[in-house]
Structure 1
Amino acid sequence: MASSDVLIAGAGPTGLVLALWLTKLGVKVRIIDKTAEPGTTSRAVAVQARTLELYRQLDLADAVVAGGHQVLAGNFWVKGVRKATISLSALGAGVTPYPFLQIFAQDEHERLLIARLEALGVTVERRTELISFVEQADVITARLRGSDGSEQNCEARYLAGCDGARSKVRETIGTGFPGGTYPQIFYVADIEGTGPAQNGELHVDLDEADFLAIFPLAGAGHARLIGAVRGVNAETLTFADVSDRAINHMKLTVGKVNWFSTYHVHHRVTQHFRKRRVFLAGDAAHIHSPVGGQGMNTGIGDAINLAWKLAAVLKGRAPDALLDSYEAERIGFARRLVATTDRAFTFVSGEGQLANFVRTRIAPVVIPTAFHFEAVRRFAFRTVSQTMLNYRGGPLSQGAAGRVHGGDRLPWADVGGSDNFAPLVSLDWQIHVYGSASRELTAWCTQRNLPLHIFPWRDDYERTGLARDALYLLRPDTYVALADTSGAVSALGRYIADRGIQLS
């Protein structure tokens, strides 16, 4: 009987990232997928700045940026005229090393993750389906069906359901999937074409209640159309049925259609992300409209949040209770995200004269005007890029120093050529001090072999929200666990004692 520390069901981006992080942390994984091969087509294209920041930890960010396309601006169209343009690079300047929207198609994304995983000696087991599983004492026993129809048992300490919206894992543990289904039929088309909307930027048509956006892809003239239409049959809808709108409204000349697909979209969040030794992540835990390009990135965030916690527990560096924080931190974000994307999609797809008036007359004026204000620009970028995501109030978050609270993403600061994100590649706990660290703290870290990074104070750090001489304890996923203005060792001692965590 094959055994592993963690069995991962589902080899989409969420499952692959979970497998990759766990493997790098020394955890034995087994990852299965019932499909015969990785996807050759995909719906997800957006890789947000926060995902790229986390990808720096495994040297993935540069490959994603090099293999895709940076979107530096977004445009809104009404009645065949480009009414507003918003610079995305200006929105994120000073916030992140990646002040743009990165386009990197999911199929290419998966191939990159698979290659990195195989380089570490882990191969996705294709045509392998999870039939059932039971939990006994400290082990999960799963029944798998292979490509030849034969069945075998597999034992694992934990099971991660990354198996999509129709998750077998979620169905088995019975956590439910409350929510609803949008009445529209969504479609996606990869095309080659020309026109003013083929300038490498994002374009959204506000004319009608049927949503339409054009995302640039890598390669001259390549683009992805994502839209939604009402009152049609998904089985019979063709590109010819929807192409006139893009052609007429955004002056797009389509030379070739490389792929066209239709699908229904739901807005749902499961009631629990954990049930004893079983976890849900990605689409198995939450699904929502594609507005904002958040879905794949949220699944990847789930995977990274879960990975370091599983590794800590499996290595005896933390109690099982640490795993409860996975649901506590991720379910609240998933619920807010579903509500936010639902409101955004309702705005761009609302029917009626009033909705049409607001969308086509008011929005093109109000949105550019609002973006003249830095606070609005920063808020919009931080929200979409997920750099504003925090775990304040969570079980692992404590204290505040400057404007930074326990649970916040560490603010990025590139000061005098010193990038404070550079040490985060360690995939482990560490302490940052901006200014001077006490001798006591230095000795405490040395005795415990805990990395202490001291950044000579500059006023630029204060502008990012960091406090001088304060102590920032960073989790392996680069969020601030403890922020303490005194920089005292006693605060650290209380933090780890209360949670039973070994930092090194």
Structure 2
Amino acid sequence: MNRSDVLIVGAGPTGLVLALWLSKLGIRVRILDKASTPGTTSRALAVQARTLELYRQLDLSQTVVQNGHKVPAVNLWVKGEPVARLPFEDIGKDLTPYSFLEIFPQDQHERLLIERLEQLGVVVERDTELTGFTEHGGSITAQLLLPDGQEHTCQTCYLAGCDGARSTVRKALDIGFPGGTYQQVFYVADVEASGPALNGELHADLDEADFLAVFPLAGEGRARLIGTVRDERAEQAETLRFEDVSSRAIEHLKIQVHKVNWFSTYRVHHRVADTFRFGRAFLLGDAAHVHSPAGGQGMNTGIGDAINLAWKLAAVLNGAANDKLLDSYEVERMAFARRLVATTDRVFNFVSAEGAMADLIRTRVAPFLLPKMVSFELAREYLFRTVSQITLNYRGMPLSEGHAGHVFGGDRLPWAHDRETDNFNSLTSLNWQVHVYGDTSEEMLAWCAEHHLALHIFDWHPTHEAAGLARNGFYLLRPDSYVAVADLSADPKVIERYFRDHGIKPFLW
């Protein structure tokens, strides 16, 4: 236990996914958390479509979907009446196998990840705290405080800070965390209730005084309420009870609350760390970026960080890539984090701003424009693509090259399926692979066979063209299933040059 390949600090979803992915790739991990038990409250709820796609590689998607709750639509209310409905199932049915918003509470989520990790022989070390670390040569020496109060020293090749917004790792590295805190106070309550807004869909009230969102939970009549705390009550947020918050928005949505199972208040932060990597230490999840919960993006973004970093760390530790590959983690994930903070800022300000003009926009202008917007297929598709994170891409970044059809290097591979074939079936692999839609050359066949690089050839079909894929070209896919190279040729020298230029070897895990 004194030496590991990767020491992971923090056992929330981000740290657990990082540990699980690395362990599946044969990397020795050690994961610790200063909390004595896993979380028992359902903090984060939403599992987006892109996360479910990536979870296929960990054999988690089916379990999450079976044990969670599918949200088929979002409804917007104003002054006690529904004014717009955004149906996910219709919008995303040709874009992803997961054309819905999945509600899977964080406490259940963590238990599932812990269980899968234990099956691989890795146990979270509880009541264990990182107190300091130093980097020297090719490793890090870390100091830990154990449950019995004793100090312990261990060595690791790399350190991953997945330890939240108050990250010990980030503070020890003296990395700036610029941004701020919104003045509004929010409350969250898990309730048992009844009413038209308890129909299994997501509902949001754009009221002139209060904002309220209703997230359905698995089980009849169970929901998560997220609302604003305004006026003088916000000054005593720490001592508020559910009975103290305004009932106006709750009444507008015609909700009858029968029982409150959990209640808390919080302020929303928006910050991005100055750097996500310092030597052999990395920041992931809330340790690297925090933002408004608008759109249910937070946990999913942290999981995306973990998957992005995991395959790169494994490649370096397995000798299949040089350390330079790890620089791409910050480049790719920081760009997305900054864009996400800016986007959620705009949404947050729309729903929470106060004043006559803000009230006018929310209660008069928005009810008029939103139904018209969602009546257009392109607008509905844009909203779904954005919230589901399937448009997240690494275009124009160091590991992304070329384009073929409408697909560029750095893009998520588009989903293309018919009754007989599904191009996502091969994406359960943790390997590099090549996709061809149509025909390819004898040279490509021979090169991929010689280098043990999986080659999947799909007979050309109209669904491929509809998805934006090019005929007879190729797509080199990274281990996280993003497109590394898109090229119209059938020349394996393009792939060979890519691996050589980036110091990567094609390999099987």
Q: TM-score range by the shorter chain?
A: over 0.9
Return the alpha-carbon distance in structure 2 between the equivalents of residues 269 and 263 of structure 1: 19
**1:449-488 maps to which residues of 2 (within 5 A)?**
449-488=452-491
Map of 1:263 onto structure 2: 266
Map of 1:3 onto structure 2: 3
Which stretch shows the higher mean deviation, 241-250 or 98-107? 241-250
1:27/1:311 contact within 8 Å kept: yes
Which stretch shows the higher mean deviation, 346-355 or 135-144? 346-355
1:230 aligns to 2:233 (yes or no): no
> After superposition, what is the alpha-carbon deviation per residue over 1:129-185, rounded to whole angstroms, capped at 9, x for unaligned?
000011011111110001111110011000000000000000011121000001011
1:183/1:230 contact within 8 Å kept: no
1:209/1:349 contact within 8 Å kept: no
Map of 2:445 onto structure 1: 442
Q: How far is 1:58 from its partner?
A: 1.2
C-alpha RMSD of matched pairs (Å): 1.0
Map of 2:99 onto structure 1: 99
1:248 aligns to 2:221 (yes or no): no
Q: How far is 1:364 from its partner?
A: 1.8
Q: 1:424 aligns with which of 419, 422, 427?
A: 427
2:84/2:374 contact within 8 Å kept: no
1:183 aligns to 2:186 (yes or no): no
1:325 aligns to what SS in structure 2? helix
1:328 aligns to 2:311 (yes or no): no
Which stretch shows the higher mean deviation, 276-285 or 233-242? 233-242
> After superposition, what is the alpha-carbon deviation per residue over 1:452-482, rounded to whole angstroms, capped at 9, x for unaligned?
0000001210110100011100000000000
**1:363-402 maps to which residues of 2 (within 5 A)?**
363-402=366-405
Q: 2:302 aligns with which of 278, 296, 299?
A: 299
Q: How far is 1:432 from its partner?
A: 0.2
2:237 aligns to what SS in structure 1? coil
1:125 aligns to 2:125 (yes or no): yes
2:229/2:246 contact within 8 Å kept: no
Q: Could you tell me which amino acid in structure 1 is paired with residue 469 of structure 2? A: L
1:94 aligns to what SS in structure 2? coil
Return the alpha-carbon distance in structure 1 between the equivalents of residues 130 and 198 of structure 2: 43
Which stretch shows the higher mean deviation, 299-308 or 367-376? 367-376
Among the aligned pairs, what percent are the same residue?
65
Q: Could you tell me which amino acid in structure 1 is paired with residue 120 of structure 2? A: L
Return the alpha-carbon distance in structure 1 between the equivalents of residues 328 and 100 of structure 2: 31
1:56 aligns to 2:56 (yes or no): yes
Q: Could you tell me which amino acid in structure 2 is paired with residue 412 of structure 1? A: W
**1:279-294 maps to which residues of 2 (within 5 A)?**
279-294=282-297
Q: How far is 1:243 from its partner?
A: 5.3
Map of 1:206 onto structure 2: 206
1:265 aligns to what SS in structure 2? strand
Which stretch shows the higher mean deviation, 312-321 or 201-210? 201-210
Q: Could you tell me which amino acid in structure 2 is paired with residue 123 of structure 1? A: V
Map of 2:78 onto structure 1: 78
Which stretch shows the higher mean deviation, 360-369 or 424-433? 360-369
1:190/1:259 contact within 8 Å kept: yes
Q: 2:406 aligns with which of 385, 393, 403?
A: 403
Return the alpha-carbon distance in structure 2 between the equivalents of residues 490 and 238 of structure 1: 65
TM-score normalized with structure 2 length: 0.98
> After superposition, what is the alpha-carbon deviation per residue over 1:318-343, rounded to whole angstroms, capped at 9, x for unaligned?
01000000000000000000010010
1:208/1:349 contact within 8 Å kept: no
Return the alpha-carbon distance in structure 2 between the equivalents of residues 307 and 379 of structure 1: 29
Q: How far is 1:48 from its partner?
A: 0.2
Map of 1:221 onto structure 2: 221
Return the alpha-carbon distance in structure 2 between the equivalents of residues 329 and 25 of structure 1: 22
TM-score normalized with structure 1 length: 0.99
Which stretch shows the higher mean deviation, 40-49 or 161-170? 40-49
Return the alpha-carbon distance in structure 2 between the equivalents of residues 363 and 90 of structure 1: 23
Q: Could you tell me which amino acid in structure 1 is paired with residue 107 of structure 2? A: D
Structure 2 residue ranges without an equivalent (≥5)? none
2:210/2:248 contact within 8 Å kept: no
Return the alpha-carbon distance in structure 1 between the equivalents of residues 410 and 209 of structure 2: 39
1:246/1:252 contact within 8 Å kept: no
Q: How far is 1:211 from its partner?
A: 2.6
Map of 1:165 onto structure 2: 165
Return the alpha-carbon distance in structure 2 between the equivalents of residues 246 and 479 of structure 1: 42
2:286/2:302 contact within 8 Å kept: yes
Return the alpha-carbon distance in structure 2 between the equivalents of residues 41 and 22 of structure 1: 27
**1:336-375 maps to which residues of 2 (within 5 A)?**
336-375=339-378
Q: Aligned residue pairs: how many?
A: 504
2:245 aligns to what SS in structure 1? helix
2:117 aligns to what SS in structure 1? helix
Map of 2:318 onto structure 1: 315
Q: Could you tell me which amino acid in structure 2 is paired with residue 332 of structure 1? A: A
Structure 1 residue ranges without an equivalent (≥5)? none
Q: How far is 1:209 from its partner?
A: 5.0
1:86/1:368 contact within 8 Å kept: no
Return the alpha-carbon distance in structure 1 between the equivalents of residues 441 and 61 of structure 2: 35
